[in-house]
Amino acid sequence: MTSPQLPAIPDFDAAAELELALELAELATSVALPLYESREFRLDRKADRSEVTEADRNAELAISQRVLDVRPHHSLFGEEHGLVGDTSSPWRWVIDPIDGTSNFVRGIPVWATLVALTHVEHGPVVGVVAAPAMGRTWWAARGLGAFANGRPCKVSAVDQLADAQVCVTFASGWDDLGLTSELVQLQQRAYRARGFGDFWQHMLVAEGAVDIAVDAVGLQPYDLAAVMVVVEEAGGTFTDRHGVRTYQSDTAISSNGLLHEHVRVLGAR
């Protein structure tokens, strides 16, 4: 399975929108990174018991204000504040101000701002994943390729599971689906298994360091839109557990394409 050949998108300036997405990610970094480094923030819990801080809220607010200023005919959907802007627009920015808030609050540097531009018919077309505490930024736009800190990204050429490095994010959702044993078997059949989690596992697929990444159950569009663009522009395959190419499912699997068939069992139930 290879990355899809997508039709041309009218009135889409990939370079200009990518430049804005990078600017938005830097804006979020200017809000969140000082709080992470100082450890001076208040931790709250949302209704689902997940963590949230003023870094999440303020970073998303800064991004949304900038988008509404320079793209008044676009909308924006963020994890913390929901949908704002021109809701009739085919163009929508999809934002996760801090993917990996649990890491952020514990002082673990694996967290990132995810910025994506999506089109109602064409899906995600620009993606930026900025992980400032790791000193890493990945970006991509349709037709422009994928990059990590300015260097081109390309998925691996590993075509045998026995030679592959696999990343699995175990969560109770996999237990609820009755698929945890299949995930264990996938790891056992691989050369090496790791659990990097969140955005990072997919970025490692894009870089060719990991060959298959299976995310948790219970994902949202803002978890996936940006990483989908980077993986696909790096030559990889990005689907839900049923093999559907989408960023709007509660599951996500990325791979180098050559090994994607090995995760089809996860969509059997």
Cα-atom radius of gyration of the chain, to the nearest Å? Answer: 18
Residue 3 has pLDDT above 60, yes or no: no
Q: What is the mean pLDDT of residues 99-106?
A: 92
Report pLDDT for 48.
63
Report pLDDT for 2.
45
pTM confidence score: 0.93
Q: Where are the domains of the chain?
A: 14-152, 161-267
pLDDT tens for each residue of 16-49: 999 999 999 999 999 999 999 998 888 777 666 6
Mean pLDDT is lowest, of 6-10, 19-23, 75-79, 138-142, for: 6-10
Residue 180: left if φ>0, alpha if ψ -120 to 50, beta else—which one? alpha
pLDDT tens for each residue of 119-132: 999 999 999 999 99
Return all residues near 35 (Cβ < 8 A) that are at least 6 apart. 41, 53, 54, 55
Residue 1 has pLDDT above 50, yes or no: no
User: What fold, for 161-267?
Assistant: D-Maltodextrin-Binding Protein; domain 2 (3.40.190)
The CA-atom distances, in angstroms, between 150 and each of 113, 141, 147 are 17, 13, 5
Q: Which CATH architecture has domain 14-152?
A: 2-Layer Sandwich (3.30)
